[in-house]
Structure 1
Amino acid sequence: MSLNSPARQPLAPTSINSILNPVIEPSVQSKPDAPTKRKADELNEIDSEDDRLHYITDNCDQVRRKIRTLLNSGEMKVTEFQRAIGVNSNAYGRFMGYTGRDKGSGSNTYVEAFKFFKKRELQGIKVPKKKAKTTEESAKYDVSAITLDGEAETNVLVFDSCDEIRKKIRAHLAQPGVAQAAFLREIAKTYRDGRKIQSKVLNDFLGKRGASAGNTSAVFYSSYVFFEKLRIKEGKPRSKHRETMEKLYAGKGFDTKNRSDRGVYCFAGETPVEDKYGKIHFY
């Protein structure tokens, strides 16, 4: 060994245990990936035959509230929603015009709308928040600036049949942003005595059928006044039905004082039949 070479360092003592049981350094493990949100195309994975879509747990009023909340949020328009659940505007309008837990339970709109919302629920899609009403929206149905002849005496001449007013009410309640309670408050303003019109009165009127069925209802008269003011405000022309009613009931209007179901006198063998304008014909 050269005198100039460095001296070797002594080896550290090694125990027999370190040889037989070597220490293994833990490996650095990567953290599991955080769960990612499901893609939009994965939201359709629920089969249309899924039993959960066919066991209806919401009543008709609850489904109507969900529809209105969806439309008021601005997420979908009425026509888009109708296409999404596969119903036409007439079926949709009839269902949305009803009020009551079981009113409309036989409607296809009720069944398909429930499936639509149940599927969204199972997919984890939250119910959209109600969009705040703008001043423009709240003023859309304000008709307080218009006064009709005879309104102060609660004696506006009516030129619509009861069935026609029922159609208008159902169509109106089917509009996004229109609540039944707000509609009742608005038509109650027709009366100057501060009265309130309850939902039961509306339901009773909507549940009738016939041109003169419900002619003495407060809903019939006040709704006519409201829709007539709204027609004037929007600058719309009179309908053909309205023009015919004006000819048939010129100068006196449709009877809103005497109940139509009080009966009529006829000869033996005659059958009284009411037409769509409320006129009685004998056959």
Structure 2
Amino acid sequence: MPSSATGREPSDDALRESSNNVLNRLASAGIPLSAVLQDVSDESDESDGSDESDESEDLEAELDDMPITDSCDAVRRMIRAFLDNGDMKVGEFQKAIHTNSKTYSNFMTQSGPYKGAGSSVYTLAWRFFKKRELQGIPLPKQSIKPKKGNQAAAATTPDLSAIELPGEMDDDVEIYDTCDDIRRKINAHLKKPGVTQAQFLRDIAASYRRAPRKIQSTQLSTFRSKKGALQGNNSAVFYGAYVYFEKLRIAEKKPKSQKRLEMEEIHCISGGVDTGRPQKYIVSVGT
């Protein structure tokens, strides 16, 4: 508290008198008190923003001098754990590190400590997490405990949230499986311990990103009851299940089958199997 010229602290009456004098002078000059208070608030805000900006610049400069000590696989695990925790969605994270979906997908679908070392996503994501660490924000941990009823399914199905296929954001992933192939995959998948039809329907519905939809059990039954390479090609189940199983293949690090490679060779010119209108015939592999 300010002291008087005599070295004594001013009394309450003296402080009130001094405050009243200041207010009277402001009133005489036509200056409203609210304007003075706003100026003080603005100066405080500007100071705070400047401090934050300086701190961010200091961190960026510090990161420039740091070697990357985490492997590509370690960075991929950080990304998946971060997204699993719900801190950001995939698209939001891509914007945060200034990358695009194609570059991000190419990095995330690789496997190996040095696979993707030349990708900008590797460097940008590492800097993103290192900066948070320097700011005192803990690194993401993959320790989300599943609910009891879903423990068996969680144990058998890997996380797919960080995998994005080319064309997925536009609901335009190219398909290189027949309808019969997808039906076989569905039948095998639903026999796995802990996997339920309700959860599978939610999983394949999540394949639609641009125009979200709900897939009913009747649609699944109708698709599964058909027979033929292209019978059911325009079903939402066909597209949704293909995207789901393709992500599953990538997550499980399984190679493409010989038939799949041949399907790509045959149908790549037309952008994959047609899903826009019902079809009856397909070019057979090996003909």
Return the index of the structure with the highest Cα Rg: 1
TM-score bracket, normalised by the shorter chain, equals: 0.3 to 0.5
User: TM-score, with normalisation over the residues of structure 2?
Assistant: 0.45
User: TM-score, with normalisation over the residues of structure 1?
Assistant: 0.45
